[in-house]
């Protein structure tokens, strides 16, 4: 083993998922010396769509046309929910910051507008969301009588144009489908490999020639969300020029390319902002010495000791490793914080997977005060400068509420701002 390294910084962000990335972005933008640990490849699971609030109340099982109507009800009914700890203004500010940050990293998002947008998914369903990448934005042009051409690629598993068309044909009768064979690829076609091909102009040309005989009367085209990795918008625009059509991407199941674009954009810009990133670091139980957190982390056989005044816990839920469920109890894995959870395991899940209220385990998590500092069962703050953000927060069934990105962005933004305010005013 090599010698131990020592780093001192203002703030450590534990976790490199969406919330962790936003926190690191905000902290570095405010000029805080930031260290980040975690595994950014979890962003491959991100759809790339930023949700705000899609469904409320859950038992209504209806998409909110306007998230604000749901929000005011939610703030009234669920005081523990992260959205209830703050104002609408803060939520919008955090989205605004996120848009600007990603834009500076070369990834264009369409700003929120009044009401939820609905985005066509590869299952043939529409997902309510708030902010979307520009490459998906033209799905708004889809009207009931639009002549839409859906293109899929042979070998790209889980995306079938006929499936979407067949499911939608009741309301959208004018959908045509086309299955394209990628030359030289006769086996599995993996999304990233296909996405890389989209950045090759000869591939785009070949694709355009394959599609062009079928463009009669077609007004709009939908393709799987694999249109380029780092220059997605450019690739999409080029294909639009070649075909003379408006094109939009359709998000599909992981690994998600819009998620990969987010990962790349964050990583690129954070590195520029001099955020020190320790990849796949294993964190030993941290200590707090009265003024600083002391974290011993191991990555790639190298031990590093990080000392920082502030800590941001953005380790996610079960897939991210922030929460771990033993047979009877749920634990927080880094600081062993108290976890709000159902009394016994039989309450964790319903017998029906699609139960309208959602599964109770999804409301488990870390409870916090209004600036997202974890609190114990009596409501007392555990560490002055420790914040918990993102999906680890309790009372937020983000999957069912469609509130994941919103809560993550809001909590990250609020927590970092609070820490910054405290450190500049000298508290």
Binding of another protein by 192 (CB under 8 A): yes
Rounded to an integer, what is the distance from CA 172 to the centroid of its chain?
Answer: 29
* Residue 15 structure tokens: 């976790």
Binding of another protein by 284 (CB under 8 A): no
Helix axis angle for 404-425 and 88-104, nearest 10°, is 90
Q: Least distance from C-beta 291 to another protein, angstroms?
A: 32
Binding of another protein by 85 (CB under 8 A): no
Binding of another protein by 350 (CB under 8 A): yes
Return the residues of window 293-332 that contact another protein according to CB under 8 A.
317-319, 324-328
**How many alpha carbons fall within 13 Å on the CB side of residue 36?**
30
| Integer Cα distance of 334 and 282 in angstroms | 10
* Total number of residues that touch another protein (CB under 8 A): 78
Kindly write out the interface string for residues 355-384 of this chain, putting x where it contacts another protein by CB under 8 A and - elsewhere.
xx-xx-xx----------------------
Only one of the segments 137-145, 154-162, 237-245, 377-385 lies at the binding site for another protein (rule: CB under 8 A); that segment is: 154-162
Nearer to another protein, 240 or 355 (CB): 355
Only one of the segments 29-37, 132-140, 369-377, 392-400 lies at the binding site for another protein (rule: CB under 8 A); that segment is: 392-400
* Residue 385 structure tokens: 């400068």
Kindly write out the interface string for residues 166-185 of this chain, putting x where it contacts another protein by CB under 8 A and - elsewhere.
xxxxx--------x----xx
Rounded to an integer, what is the distance from CA 311 to the centroid of its chain?
Answer: 21
| Integer Cα distance of 296 and 308 in angstroms | 12
Phi-psi region of 244 (alpha: psi -120 to 50; beta: other; left: phi over 0): left
Q: Least distance from C-beta 292 to another protein, angstroms?
A: 28
Query: Which one of residues 104, 106, 126, 134 is an interface residue with another protein (CB under 8 A)?
Result: 126
| Integer Cα distance of 323 and 308 in angstroms | 23
The answer for residues whose C-beta is within 8 angstroms of residue 310's C-beta and 6 or more apart is 10, 11, 12, 32, 293, 385, 386, 387, 419, 423
Binding of another protein by 261 (CB under 8 A): no
Binding of another protein by 258 (CB under 8 A): no
| Integer Cα distance of 286 and 76 in angstroms | 37
Nearer to another protein, 106 or 254 (CB): 254
Q: Least distance from C-beta 370 to another protein, angstroms?
A: 27
Which run of H or E residues covers position 95?
Answer: helix 88-104
Binding of another protein by 393 (CB under 8 A): no
Only one of the segments 72-80, 339-347, 380-388, 412-420 lies at the binding site for another protein (rule: CB under 8 A); that segment is: 339-347
Nearer to another protein, 47 or 139 (CB): 47
State residue 241 phi and psi, 5-degree precision.
-65, -45
Return the residues of window 49-68 that contact another protein according to CB under 8 A.
54-55, 61-63
Q: Least distance from C-beta 23 to another protein, angstroms?
A: 19
Preceding omega of 354 cis (within 30 degrees of 0):
no
| Integer Cα distance of 414 and 23 in angstroms | 9
């Amino acid at each position: 083993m090599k010698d131990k390294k020592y780093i001192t910084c203002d703030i450590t962000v534990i976790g490199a998922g969406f919330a962790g990335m936003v926190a690191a972005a905000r902290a570095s933008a405010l000029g805080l010396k930031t260290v980040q640990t975690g595994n950014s490849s979890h962003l491959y699971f991100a759809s790339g769509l930023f949700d705000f609030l899609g469904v409320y109340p859950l038992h209504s099982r209806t998409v909110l046309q306007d998230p604000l109507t749901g929000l005011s009800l939610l703030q009234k009914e669920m005081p523990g929910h992260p959205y209830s700890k703050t104002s609408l203004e803060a939520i919008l500010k955090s989205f605004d910051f996120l848009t600007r940050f990603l834009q500076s990293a070369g990834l264009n998002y369409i700003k929120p507008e009044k009401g939820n947008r609905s985005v066509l998914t590869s299952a043939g369903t529409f997902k309510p969301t708030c902010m979307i990448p520009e490459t998906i934005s033209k799905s708004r042009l889809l009207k009931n009588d639009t002549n839409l051409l859906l293109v899929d690629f042979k070998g790209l598993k889980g995306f079938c144009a006929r499936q979407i068309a067949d499911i939608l044909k009741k309301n959208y009768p004018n959908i045509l489908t086309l299955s394209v064979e990628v030359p030289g690829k006769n086996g599995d076609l993996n999304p990233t490999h296909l996405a890389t091909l989209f950045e090759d102009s000869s591939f785009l040309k070949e694709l355009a020639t394959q599609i062009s005989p079928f463009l009669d009367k077609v007004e709009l085209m939908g393709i799987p969300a694999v249109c380029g990795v780092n220059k997605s918008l450019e690739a999409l625009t080029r294909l639009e020029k070649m075909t003379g059509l408006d094109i939009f991407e359709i998000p599909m199941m992981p690994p998600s390319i819009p998620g990969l674009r987010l990962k790349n954009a964050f990583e690129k810009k954070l590195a520029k902002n001099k955020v020190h990133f320790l990849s796949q670091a294993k964190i030993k139980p941290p200590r707090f010495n009265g003024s600083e957190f002391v974290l011993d982390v191991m990555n790639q056989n190298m031990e590093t000791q990080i000392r920082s005044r502030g800590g941001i816990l953005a380790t996610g839920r079960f897939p991210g490793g922030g929460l771990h469920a033993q047979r009877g109890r749920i634990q927080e894995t880094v600081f062993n914080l108290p976890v709000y959870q159902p009394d016994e395991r039989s309450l964790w899940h319903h017998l029906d997977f699609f139960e309208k209220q959602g599964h109770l385990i999804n409301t488990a998590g870390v409870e916090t005060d209004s600036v997202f500092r974890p609190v114990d069962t009596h409501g007392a703050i555990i560490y002055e400068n420790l914040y918990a953000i993102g999906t680890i927060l309790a009372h937020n069934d983000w999957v069912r509420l469609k509130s994941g990105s919103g809560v993550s962005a809001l909590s990250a933004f609020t927590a970092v701002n609070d820490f910054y305010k405290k450190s500049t005013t000298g508290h």
